[in-house]
């Protein structure tokens, strides 16, 4: 059976995630202490481990308070240790480690930040992608370039289509509006946005197959002619889409 997944809204539009199983509980990213600690207390769960995807404060700012309250150990990218809270278990892209009795794969996904990683649990089919692959979007390129981000997204696109993409923010209103502006004929996109607006469907997490069908940043090949970029590479189309979103 898959580990139990709990999505917690933090700050204005962040998502944090709890994973729970017989072996304990883990947290992916720590934007804000109160909603996370409140949820843990309500469920009667302790906290064993915190996994960090990247160094930005809206993903790490509550680590110290949560560690003080729970004694949880912290896992993050060794290459970015200088910008992360103190790591009890540094890991590197390509590593596999055990979490709550399940294997976790560390995937290199730079672009939003150079040290950004994603955590993939192949048994439960969860991928914690934070600000790399996001719901109907992708993160801004604060430290990487379009080619780097396209390579990162291409890695994530190869995961099994049923993988649940657990992204870091609810930017669905702005992401959805941009997606419609470049992919107006996409029926799957329109249905997804209608479901979100009617609260029938969550913004995130969402299966990778849904992102592949509705996320413009994963649809470079499908949007090439629409953007008048016949003959351009997928990476070049992605770069144009990212520029358009930044200016949207």
Q: How remote is the C-alpha of 77 from its chain's centroid? A: 15
Query: CA 219, CA 213: separation in Å to the nearest integer?
Result: 8
- With H, G, I as helix, E, B as strand and everything else as coil, classify residue 239: helix
Q: Is 116 assigned a ligand-binding role in the annotation?
A: no
CA dihedral 62, 63, 66, 68 (to 10 degrees): -120
Q: What are phi and psi of 120, to 5 degrees?
A: -120, 125
What one-character DSSP code corresponds to residue 119? E
Q: Is 55 assigned a ligand-binding role in the annotation?
A: no
> Which residue is it, tokens 């109160």?
34
- CB count in 10 Å sphere of residue 4: 14
What one-character DSSP code corresponds to residue 144? S
- CB count in 10 Å sphere of residue 213: 18
What H or E segment, with its residue span, contains residue 153?
A: helix 146-157
Q: Is 20 assigned a ligand-binding role in the annotation?
A: no
- With H, G, I as helix, E, B as strand and everything else as coil, classify residue 187: helix
Q: Please tell me the total number of residues recorded for the chain in this structure.
A: 248
- With H, G, I as helix, E, B as strand and everything else as coil, classify residue 186: coil
Q: Annotated binding site: which residue ranges?
A: 54, 56, 58-59, 112, 131, 169
User: Which segments are annotated as binding site for Zn(2+)?
Assistant: 54, 56, 58-59, 112, 131, 169
């Amino acid at each position: 059976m898959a580990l139990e997944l709990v999505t917690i809204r933090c700050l204005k539009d962040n998502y944090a995630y709890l994973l729970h199983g017989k072996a304990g509980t883990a947290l992916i990213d720590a934007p804000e202490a109160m909603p996370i600690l409140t949820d843990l207390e309500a469920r009667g769960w302790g906290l064993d481990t915190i996994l960090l995807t990247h160094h930005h404060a809206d993903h790490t700012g509550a680590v110290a308070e949560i560690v003080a309250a729970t004694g949880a150990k912290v896992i993050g990218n060794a290459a970015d240790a200088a910008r992360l809270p103190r790591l009890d278990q540094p890991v590197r892209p390509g590593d596999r480690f055990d979490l709550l009795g399940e294997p976790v794969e560390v995937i290199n996904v730079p672009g939003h930040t150079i040290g950004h990683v994603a955590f993939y649990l192949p048994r439960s089919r969860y991928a914690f992608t934070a600000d790399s692959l996001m719901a109907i979007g992708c993160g801004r390129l604060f430290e990487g370039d379009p080619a780097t981000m396209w390579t990162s997204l291409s890695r994530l696109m190869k995961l099994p289509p049923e993988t649940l993409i657990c992204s870091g923010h609810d930017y669905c209103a702005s992401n959805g509006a941009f997606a419609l502006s470049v992919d107006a004929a996409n029926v799957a996109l329109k249905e997804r946005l209608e479901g979100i607006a009617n609260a029938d469907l969550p913004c995130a997490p969402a299966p990778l197959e849904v992102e592949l069908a509705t996320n413009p940043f994963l649809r470079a090949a499908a949007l090439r002619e629409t953007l008048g970029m016949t003959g351009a590479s997928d990476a070049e189309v992605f770069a144009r889409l990212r520029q358009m979103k930044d200016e949207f």
